[in-house]
Amino acid sequence: MKIDYNRLMEEEVGKWQEKKTILLHSCCGPCSTAVIERLKDFFDITILYYNPNIEPLEEYEKRKQEQIRYLKECGDPISFMDCDYDHESFLKIAKGLEQEKEGGARCHKCYYLRLEHTARLAQEHHFDYFGTTLTVSPYKDAGVINKIGLNLEQVMNANKKDEEKIIFLVSDFKKKDGYKRSIEISKEYGLYRQEYCGCLYGKENQNE
């Protein structure tokens, strides 16, 4: 039976009266737009820009600056957490999977790499939740992403005290026209929308 992750998320955020904190991994400014809009009433949001898959460096920096610009211009009190460009970590997990098509095993490892780093920082900085904007994309499997996040929640919380535990926010942000809304907001702010997910392997193999 297919899981409705959007419904589960709505049930989760409906449990409390006061805002929680979330470290939200963002793959780019455009994808973050509709996600922030949906979550801002429930969370104090900190956007994490950790995307070692993106290349070349110029593309990485361009996307990061567009993310920062949107956060400054959107009018919502969203914090930003930056990371060093860590492309070598991506190359290590992608080794042997260079010819995989978009959405395959290489992408799954890439999701894990980025979500694991998000989870570790979320726990280190005492966030209540961690999550990702990745599920807003119609080209990404929300089921795969959520299973990775829930697995990391278990791994990170093993042998931890209750006050040290973090929760993965399951999601399927493409639901309820989330992707369409992200395009609308991106156009409103004139955000740069890239033509490929991030790695050059995917760009080269996406049409094969």
Q: Which helix (H) or strand (E) holds 5?
A: helix 5-13
SS3 content of the chain, % helix, strand, coil (to 5): 50, 10, 40
In the chain, alpha helices (H): 5-13, 29-39, 57-73, 87-94, 105-124, 142-157, 178-189, 200-205
Say if residue 135's pLDDT is above 70. yes
For position 206, what pLDDT does the model report? Answer: 55
- The Cβ of residue 46 has, within 10 Å, a number of other Cβ atoms equal to 18
**HSE toward the beta carbon, residue 167, CA cutoff 13 A:** 14
For position 208, what pLDDT does the model report? Answer: 42
Listed by start position, the domains of the chain span: 5-205
In angstroms, what CA-CA distances link 180 with 38, 69, 144, 176, 188? 13, 21, 22, 9, 13
159 pLDDT tier (thresholds 50, 70, 90): very high
In tens, the pLDDT along 2-28 reads 899 999 999 999 998 899 999 999 999
For position 88, what pLDDT does the model report? Answer: 97
Say if residue 207's pLDDT is above 70. no
Average pLDDT across the chain, whole number = 95
Say if residue 195's pLDDT is above 90. no
Which tops the pLDDT comparison, 64 or 196? 64
Q: Is 42 helix (H, G, I), strand (E, B) or coil?
A: coil
Say if residue 205's pLDDT is above 80. no
5-205: CATH number: 3.40.50.620
In tens, the pLDDT along 93-132 reads 999 999 998 889 999 999 999 999 999 999 999 999 999 9
